[in-house]
Amino acid sequence: MSVFIGKDTTLVVQGITGRDGSFHARQMMEYGTRVVAGVTPGKGGQQFDGVVPIFNTVRQAVEQTGANTSVIYVPPAFAADAIMEAAAAGVKVVVCITEGVPVLDMMRVYPFVKEHGARLIGPNCPGLISPGEAKVGIIPGRICARGPVGVVSRSGTLTYEVVYQLTRAGIGQTTCVGIGGDPINGTNFIDCLEAFERDPDTHAVALMGEIGGTDEQEAAEYVRTRMKKPVVGFIAGQTAPPGRRMGHAGAIISGSAGTAAEKIEAFEKCGIGIARRPIDFVALIRERLK
């Protein structure tokens, strides 16, 4: 099985005629994802690559194609409206790749999406992939393989690195989820951990966090109290100079609460295996799959 997306995913691409939207729409189609519609206001009635119908609105796309998932490639100024348009149209999973969405916009978006019963992944994320079933976003399909490990990460490039190392070692994945590194995002670590715990095909979880905030500490407590499946974790930013601003918008350290040392300590206390380097996931996951 998989979480959030799978063989039953039918996808509408918002911004399909833009540079990024068109490039990644083709990548997703080549991977086997069922891209059933695109949306670009003013270009309704056209077709993308001669096979995907383009609509002016998400509602039109959903009504005529039955799309249940959306991926968003639009500029930051329009991303909030695009997310809310998808949720209002009845889309169940909304994936926003766009980086630089204003926090004030996300304060409006987050409750709106919840009220409409949709799941938002992102913004500022690489999306997700269920190997062999569907790819929604920008995670390279060639580095993934089907297998028993669920992957969740705040960092896009770190997701690629860990997935590549696992696949290279013959350890496949059920679903890889990039939740994004913004201060306000739609899906957090606990949401993904809960989904992986319920998934019968996921036997272990690889979790990649980073400095800033307390999401990793909250996830660690969830693992301690609610999960039976083993989890291995990594914290990016362990060598970050004190006081240096770096990383994602959400990587804000307040006192000692967001430091790498504090997060690693929380992992250790809650029984999460500690990967000091991305390559360490291979041995730690392999040991827990025995």
Q: Strand 273-274's sheet: what is its strand order?
A: 134-137, 127-130, 173-178, 146-153, 204-210, 231-236, 273-274
Q: Are residues 94 and 59 in the same domain?
A: yes
Q: Are residues 89 and 204 in the same domain?
A: no
Q: 24, 116, 203, 248: which one is catalytic?
A: 248
Domain-located, residue 132: no
* 3-class SS of residue 161: helix
Q: Are residues 105 and 196 in the same domain?
A: no
Q: Are the beta carbons of 174 and 219 closer than 8 angstroms?
A: no
Alpha helices in 211-259 (DSSP H): 215-226
Cβ atoms within 10 A of the Cβ of 271, count? 12
Domain final residue, candidates 121, 147, 177: 121
Cβ atoms within 10 A of the Cβ of 242, count? 6
CATH number at residue 113: 3.40.50.720
Q: Are residues 111 and 190 in the same domain?
A: no
Give the chain's domain count: 2
CATH number at residue 181: 3.40.50.261
Q: Are residues 14 and 145 in the same domain?
A: no
Q: Are residues 115 and 188 in the same domain?
A: no
pLDDT of the residue at 216:
96
**5: DSSP letter:** -
Domain-located, residue 2: no
Rounded distance, CA 39 to CA 56, Å? 6
pLDDT of the residue at 247:
58
Strands 34-39 and 146-153: unpaired
Strands 173-178 and 146-153: parallel
pLDDT of the residue at 161:
96
Helix axes 76-88, 103-115, angle to 10 degrees: 10
Q: Is 248 a catalytic residue?
A: yes
Residue 214 domain boundaries:
139-288
pLDDT of the residue at 268:
97
Rounded distance, CA 88 to CA 76, Å? 19
For residue 46, what are the CA distances in angstroms to 59, 78, 105, 226? 16, 22, 31, 49
Q: Are residues 115 and 194 in the same domain?
A: no
Alpha helices in the chain (DSSP H): 19-31, 58-65, 76-88, 103-115, 156-168, 189-198, 215-226, 260-269, 280-288
Domain final residue, candidates 88, 121, 154: 121
Domain final residue, candidates 57, 92, 121: 121
pLDDT of the residue at 243:
61
Q: Are residues 15 and 72 in the same domain?
A: yes
Domain-located, residue 1: no
Rounded distance, CA 85 to CA 83, Å? 5
Q: Which residues of 82-103 are buried (b: 16+ CB within 10 A; e: fewer)?
A: bbbbbbbbbbbbbbbbbbebee
Task: Mark the ranges of the chain whose per-residue pLDDT is less than 50.
Answer: 253, 255
pLDDT of the residue at 257:
59
